[in-house]
Amino acid sequence: MLTEKYIKDIQILRGVSILLVLLFHFNIAFFNNGFLGVDVFFVISGFLMFLISSKYSTVEFYERRFKRILPAYTSLIIIVIFLSFFLVNYLDYKNILYHSFFALFLSPNIGYWYENSYFDKDNFKPLLHLWSLGIEIQFYLLMPLLLFLYRNIKYSLIFIFFVSLFSCLIVTTVSPKTSFFLIPFRLWEFILGGFAAFYILNNIK
């Protein structure tokens, strides 16, 4: 099956997106927009998740996703909380506990949205990278609804795609952090990957 194969194209795109983000964080010249690698990753995720969800039931989809993500996810949070107790000052530790609270409820992106920005470097944020995983998980929770709409209401997914895209463009001019951190303004990227998945599924022969 297509979803079980090692798809080299996807691995290359993943590698490129991760590299862009790393170069951005290392302040390498000419990569000031390297954080756009996250956008590429979300499109890839949408592509793969719509392919996988076409093969498994909703319960099986959630079991596979959460078994793969949650053990490492929760272990990381617990380890960071434990080690930070010995390594950072009180204010930084209080800040880590605040972010850990949101992370444990699968909404780290919302915790960072309440603050200044992803690009704010004033505070110590060892769990900052979890914001994108939070959006991924929230997308997984929406997957059954999106599939239902796609299968039962013609053009519904196209409508959601354009609403999310145009909302993202508008909100970016008003509150960039809102369009950056919240799932409604990222949903179009996952759906874009979904369109590619549907094309392949409908033309598999």
State the average pLDDT for the chain: 86
Distance of CA 120 to the CA centre of its chain: 20
The Cα–Cα gap between 194 and 115 comes to 31
Residue 4's pLDDT is what?
Answer: 47
> CA 47, CA 41: separation in Å to the nearest integer?
10
Q: Which tens digits make up the pLDDT trace of 146-196?
A: 989 998 988 999 999 999 999 999 999 999 999 999 999 999 999 999 999
Which range in 20-34, 107-121, 171-185 is most confidently predicted, on average pLDDT?
171-185
Q: Which pLDDT score, from 0 to 100, does residue 77 have?
A: 96
pLDDT of residue 52: 85
DSSP letter string, 143-175: HHHHHHHHHHSTTHHHHHHHHHHHHHHHHHHH-
For residue 201, how many other CB atoms are within 10 A of its CB? 14
For residue range 31-54, what is the model confidence (pLDDT) as tens digits? Answer: 666 678 789 889 999 998 988 887
Question: Which one is predicted more confidently, 123 or 77?
Answer: 77
